[in-house]
Amino acid sequence: MVSRARFVNIPSSTAAVSVCLFVCAGDLELDCHPFPHCIIRNFLRCQAFVDSLQRELLQLNFHEKSNDLYKKRTEPHIAGLRAALFGRFRSWLGEVLGVELEPTVDISCAKYEYTDVLLCHDDELEGRRVAFILYLSTKFLYNVNLCHQCPFTKSLTCTVFVEVSEVLTPDKCRLSLSGWFHGPSLERPPRYLEALIPRNPHLPRDESVLLEWVNPVYLDISYQEQIQKEFEENSEIQLKDFLKDEKFREVSEALRLTQIQWTRRGPPNKRCYEVASLDTLPQCVSACWQLLHSEAFFLLLSNFTGLRLHYLCPADDDDEEDKNEMTEEKKEQEDARDRESTGSLNQSPSANTSGHTCMLWCAFTHSNTCTDNKMIQHSRQLKLSFTGWQSDFGGFTCYVANEEDEELLTVYPEDNSLALVYRDKETLKFVKHVNHKSFFDSTSEGICRTLYDFSFVYYE
């Protein structure tokens, strides 16, 4: 059995919260920074009941969820604690907040284990007014009381950005019950619309740049025809060993050893990655970037894909119709998780684009020896043989259908492999969170890995 009302401590004060303040009295803590919230310690009175509840929850059949926001195990239907949370406590909470809370309540149980994470996002759903989390973790690294219960938290605001930090220790488990109290919706502030990243024309470079950089097998016309046939059938292809080996090694070494200026891109609820300043790129990396941005490369991609990425490419019968469609779509201001980085060196997760595009993705990976947290963040100096980028490290690129959970394609990082993906405006893209296993794993303790990618979007 789970909790009933008699196990719940209800603070006696019912004064409505109307001003920003910080109050700490006994087990009750009120704070308005960064948004109005409350912490009630020792929320469940009986410690024996807490222990039994924890054991019972851990015996549930949890279902693993994994997408661009989170990786965790959830059990959606928790029958217990409803009488305690949504009866007397809901009435008390409504009095304190001055809000009439509805009987409708959401509750679920979540178990976060090693590398599980919930990335920052806006918890936006109509009618949600107060969020709650009942922590049931033992021996977890929280700055809380020594009992099994971590804080019970609540918030009342029109915008709530939620994040659960990654669990970094294999023997730790973050167990919690969480959900929402419902009430009249608050008016949300106008949504900020980001400016679209401008598209850049190709650079005037002739075919000599291809001869210098590209594996000769991909310059063979008959082989390009085979690639185009496969691309037209599958709408994607991965070309292994695309760059000449000596060029790939040169760029990889330069990325590892050169002090490139990296800038963190945000905001956290939309993106979190670093973008290189083109002015600080070493000569060989800049030359590689120019290759992927060159007129000759546009023509090569047209041969690979059959798409009209250059004005010299033959026109299809449907081109005029597509052109009219794109003209209309350009008028729309899209709101999505991220924007494309056309003609730039980055690691960007992205979302909708207008019209049909060809996405290019080329990865460079390497390993370093790490002796402390500082080196994990900044070390790019020591060269070791690369031990392999594993899928459970994250860092792979997922393509999903808009407004659906269907996964269309996953592209995994692979050294010197050029991934081409045909994408329309209804396809979303994100890069999976790179987790703690990429820094330390059981097979190579003290090794941290870095993933670089050249990411371009080419428009018809």
Q: Region 21-38: what's the mean pLDDT?
A: 80
Higher pLDDT, 358 or 327: 358
- The sign one gets for the Cα dihedral 326, 332, 335, 341 is positive
Angle ∠(206,208,212) on CA atoms, nearest 5: 140
Percent of the chain with pLDDT strictly greater than 70: 67
Average pLDDT of the segment spanning 371-397: 49
pLDDT at residue 343 above 90?
Answer: no
| Phi-psi region at 343: left, alpha or beta (left = phi > 0; alpha = psi -120 to 50) | left
Q: Catalogue all structural domains in the chain, each as residue range(s) with its CATH number.
A: 5-182 (2.60.120.620), 208-316+337-459 (2.60.120.620)
Residue range 128-169, pLDDT digits in tens: 888 888 888 766 544 444 333 444 444 445 455 667 778 788
pLDDT tens-digit readout, 162-215? 677 787 888 888 888 888 888 888 777 788 888 888 888 888 988 999 999 999
Do residues 121 and 159 lie in contact, with contact meaning Cβ atoms separated by under 8 Å?
Answer: no
Distance between CA atoms of residues 215 and 195, nearest Å: 38
Which residue did the predictor score with more confidence, 86 or 249? 249
pLDDT score, position 296: 94
Cα 93 to Cα 107: distance, rounded to the nearest angstrom: 16
Categorize the per-residue pLDDT at 442 as very low, low, confident or very high, splitting at 50, 70 and 90.
Answer: low
Per-residue confidence band for 79, with pLDDT thresholds at 50, 70 and 90: low
User: Could you tell me the two tokens for 428?
Assistant: 């979303």
**pLDDT at residue 331 tops 80:** no
Nearest to 298 by CA among 360, 346, 238: 360
- Predicted confidence (pLDDT) at residue 284 exceeds the cutoff of 90: yes
Three-class DSSP category at 360: strand
CA-closest candidate to residue 73, choices 109, 28, 39, 19: 109
**Calpha distance 177→165 (Å, rounded):** 16
Q: What are residue 186's phi and psi, to 5 degrees?
A: -90, 150
Burial (CB count <10 Å: 0-12, 13-18, 19+), residue 277 = exposed
Question: Under 8 Å CB-to-CB from 82, ≥6 apart: which residues?
Answer: 105, 107
- CA dist 116 and 248 (Å) reads 33
Tell me the pLDDT band of 35, cut-offs 50, 70 and 90.
confident
CA atoms of 30 and 153, how far apart (whole Å):
10
Q: Name the E strands within 145-270.
A: 152-155, 161-164, 174-182, 236-240, 262-265
For residue 445, what is the DSSP state? T
DSSP letter for 195, please. P
Instruction: Please write the tens of the pLDDT for every residue from 216-231.
Output: 999 999 999 999 999 9
For position 337, what pLDDT does the model report?
A: 29
**When comparing pLDDT for 371 and 271, which is higher?**
271
**Average pLDDT, stretch 119-125?**
70
- The reported pTM is 0.69
Average pLDDT, stretch 388-400? 83
pLDDT-derived band at 396, boundaries 50, 70, 90: confident
**So what's the pLDDT on residue 214?**
96
In sequence order, what are the residues at sequence separation of 6 or more whose Cβ sits closer than 8 angstroms to the Cβ of residue 243?
213, 214, 215, 251, 288, 362, 416
| Nearest of 322, 317, 398, 312 to residue 359 by alpha carbon | 398
The larger pLDDT score, comparing residue 309 to residue 369, is at 309
H or E element, residue 93: helix 89-97
Kindly report which listed range (4-13, 124-133, 186-195, 283-292) carries the lowest average pLDDT score: 4-13
Predicted confidence band of residue 333 (pLDDT cuts 50, 70, 90)? very low
Q: Is 17's pLDDT higher than 50?
A: no
Binned at pLDDT 50, 70 and 90, residue 444 comes out as low
Distances, alpha carbon 180 to alpha carbons 10, 163, 177, 289, in Å: 18, 16, 11, 48
Return the axis-axis angle of helices 221-234 and 295-305, rounded to nearest 10°.
Answer: 60
Are the C-beta atoms of residues 207 and 297 closer than 8 Å to each other? Answer: no
